[in-house]
Amino acid sequence: MASRIVTFNLNGRDVEVMVKPLTTLQTVLREHLRLTATKSGCRQGGCGSCTVLVNGEPVLSCLLPVEDVAGQTVVTLEGITPVEGLHPIQQAFFDNYAIQCGYCSPGMIMVIKALLDRNPNPTRQEVMDAIAGNVCRCTGYESILRAAEDAARRLQTV
Amino acid sequence: MSEVASAVASEVKETFHVVGKSVPRRDGIGHVTGKTVYVDDISFPGMLHLKMVRSPIHHGIIRNVDFSEAEKVPGFVRVLTHRDVPKNLYTILCLIGVGPDEEPVLAVDRVLYKGEPIAAIVAETEEAAMEAVSRVRLDLEELPAVFDVEEALKPDAPILKPWGTNYFIYEGHPCRRVRFGDVEKGFAQADYIIEEVYNTSPIEHAPTETTACVAKPEPDGRYTVYTNTQALFFTMDNTALILQVPFSKLHFVGGTVGGGFGGKVDVIVEPIATLAAMKTGRPVKFKYTREEEMRVSSTRSAWRMYFKDGVMKDGRIIARKVISYADSGAYNRHTPYVITKHAANVAGPYFIPNVYIDVYCVYTNRQPASAMRGFGVTPASFAVECQMDKIAETIGMDPWEIRFINAYRNGDMRPHQKVVEDATLIEVMKAAAELAGHPLPEHLLKMHSWDRERA
């Protein structure tokens, strides 16, 4: 099948890519646009390391054909990282040691961003539900939960 | 806080600048911004992709491999077989004197496990490489397979190794042995004989980042290899030996590992990717799929551990006999060393005057086992501590007390002929009891790791 052009808004700017049918958003981000903050842990929807926001909702980019985001808004970790310093969620992850190998961190941060955008003051259970699809194999879940709660406090005082 | 714990805490506070304090992680900013560069984030113009043709069966003879349809796939570049590998047979622990070489980089005429690599295909894209792999026609003759350590040691088991046994040979012996005191005499004197068998399953490390490398030819004739190995120089040395090139020809770049847990200390992707870079003159990426990581990469070995303990009414263990079998899978990887660590630790952190240990490194048709957190000590600790609880229950003693009574002290001789010099077991148990809110009786609180040395 022939390639086609897909246009969507990525991190605040319109982008245009030419892709074969069923090319995933993950492949477009990592291979075509070289935005590698979005990770690639399983490419089968099992680990959450490729999570990005589509219209503000967390989505597994490895399962999503890029044609499905045509005309929509996509935000990756690059999109929330300031030119200088850190986003409050990133700062909370850094300060609370919610990072070990770092491979799950981009997905975790995007999931928590989506959660805090719609629910600025989540309970611990709500944070746990939000990250339920994200695997951390260094088993740092406790510090990730602490970081999420810390991030919620920081965002409310900003 | 206990006396010891608070003394240590105040010493830490006064003396150390880093210990006992939180220090910002140097790699932390990269991790939270996604700017940390993992191997799969690296790519170069003209980079090729490598995928393996793997055995679909557990054990068999390779009669023929037909690449003619694979070669027709658009983007196919070339195939590598065992004939292309300068020193195809290897064993990674040769660097510490373990031998003989027994694992092929690419299978020659036989496969010993499902997923064993038979040939490598290099193509312009990952998709083309996968497509070409799927079109390779394998003509294999299936042989009987064995999946259980004790089945593998029976006389009628299929023999997997050229030296004619299904076990690794330790200085002429079929197992790693530890002998200390007279275990039969100990059993004869004991009030109780307590026997149990403990089994553990293989465990996949399942790092979130799969095993990967990129090998890149440089204009000066060297090869730069970006890799997520946990053992950079170990891997470089083995790669140089397999490819029969001087070490100076290789430049390994690593240190950023998206989870390893021992699963990335085998030398798996680098030799073949570097060879592909040599044969094509182009950068080559070889990244495991998640399926390969789960089904092909090595695991913690499965264990079966037979315990027989002789115990006195007062709680003293006076004899312990352990026969352990580790399932190494089809090849060595790190298991011969795992067995040695297991043998040194399976008597537990306890002083037992009569010990007899045999630990077998057994080959089966499972995917190879290798290193994982603790190198064989972890399953030993699981079995030892279950056994301690069983002893306590059998003789009607508190499980804390049985451990305090038997805990090794400084100056004790361990079964593998090492004198204990840095014991803190009793102190750790006291601190643990305190943290758990479990009051200990006075006679246990009086014990410490130096009490036999002073006596």
The pLDDT score that the predictor gives to residue B19 is 82
**Does B415 share its domain with B429?**
no
* DSSP assigned state of B301: P
Pair B455, B336 in one domain: no
- B410 and B453 share a domain? no
What confidence tier does A158 reach under pLDDT thresholds 50, 70, 90? low
Q: B22 pLDDT exceeds 90?
A: no
Tell me the percentage of chain B whose pLDDT exceeds 90: 94
- Interface contacts A/B by beta carbons within 8 Å: 92
Tell me whether residues A43 and B290 touch, CB distance under 8 A.
Answer: yes
In whole angstroms, give the CA distance from residue B233 to residue B237: 6
Q: Has residue B454 got a pLDDT over 70?
A: no
**Token pair of A136, please?**
């951390």
Among A97, A109, A137, the strongest candidate for a mutation testing the B interface, having the largest count of B CBs within 10 A, is A137
Q: Does A101 touch chain B (CB under 8 A)?
A: yes
Q: Which among A90, A137, A138 has CB closest to B32?
A: A90
CB-CB neighbors (< 8 A) of B260 in chain A: 101
Helix B399-406 with B425-435: angle, nearest 10 deg: 160
Computed over its alpha carbons, how large is the radius of gyration of chain A? 16
CB contact (8 A) between residue B258 and residue A47: no
* Res A114 pLDDT > 50: yes
pLDDT greater than 80 at residue B62: yes
Shared domain for B415 and B307, answered yes or no, is yes
Q: What pLDDT is stored for residue B85 in this prediction?
A: 98
Confidence of residue B4 (pLDDT cuts 50, 70, 90): low
Residue B455, pLDDT score: 46
Q: Which two tokens stand for residue B265?
A: 């200390």
pLDDT at B451: 86
Q: CA B121, CA B129: separation in Å to the nearest integer?
A: 6
Q: Are residues B434 and B411 in the same domain?
A: no
Q: What is the pLDDT of residues B186-226, one digit of tens each?
A: 999 999 999 999 999 999 999 999 999 999 999 999 999 99
Q: Residue B28: pLDDT above 80? A: yes
Question: With contacts defined as CB-CB under 8 Å, which chain B residues touch A85?
Answer: none
How many angstroms separate the CA of residue A125 from the nearest CA in chain B? 23
Please, what is the average pLDDT of chain B? 96
CATH architecture for the domain at A4-77: Roll (3.10)
The structure tokens listed for A75 are 């935000």
- What is residue B15's predicted lDDT score, i.e. its pLDDT? 81
Q: According to the model, what pLDDT value does residue B14 have?
A: 76
Range(s) of the domain holding residue B431: 424-455
Residue B74 has pLDDT above 70, yes or no: yes
Q: What is the mean pLDDT of residues A30-54?
A: 97
Q: Indicate whether B311 and B366 sit together in one domain.
A: yes
* Tens of pLDDT, residues B317-348: 999 999 999 999 999 999 999 999 999 999 99
A 9-28 residues with CB below 8 A of B?
none
Tell the residue number behind the tokens 């939000």, with chain if given: A130
A88-157: CATH, from 3.40.50.1100, 3.10.20.30, 3.40.1160.10, 1.10.150.120: 1.10.150.120
* B317-329 vs B302-311, strand pairing mode: antiparallel
Whether B60 is covered by a domain: the verdict is no
Question: Average pLDDT, stretch A96-113?
Answer: 97
Beta partners for residue A14, in sequence order: A9
- B205 contacts on A by Cβ (under 8 Å): 137
Give the span between the Cα atoms of B435 and B430, in whole angstroms. Answer: 9
The average pLDDT across A65-94 equals 98
CB interface of B with A, residues 222-281, below 8 Å: 257-261
Structure tokens that stand for B291 in this block: 């399926």
Q: Kindly report, residue by residue over B219-256, the tens digit of the pLDDT.
A: 999 999 999 999 999 999 999 999 999 999 999 999 99
Helix, strand or coil for residue A73? strand
The per-residue pLDDT for range B392-424, each reduced to its tens digit, is: 999 999 999 999 999 999 999 999 999 999 999
Rounded Cα gap, residues B157 and B178, in angstroms? 27
For position B2, what pLDDT does the model report? Answer: 58
Beta strands in B151-283 (DSSP E): 176-180, 192-200, 212-217, 223-227, 250-253
What percentage of chain B has pLDDT greater than the value 70? 97
- B84 has a chain A CB within 8 A of its CB: no
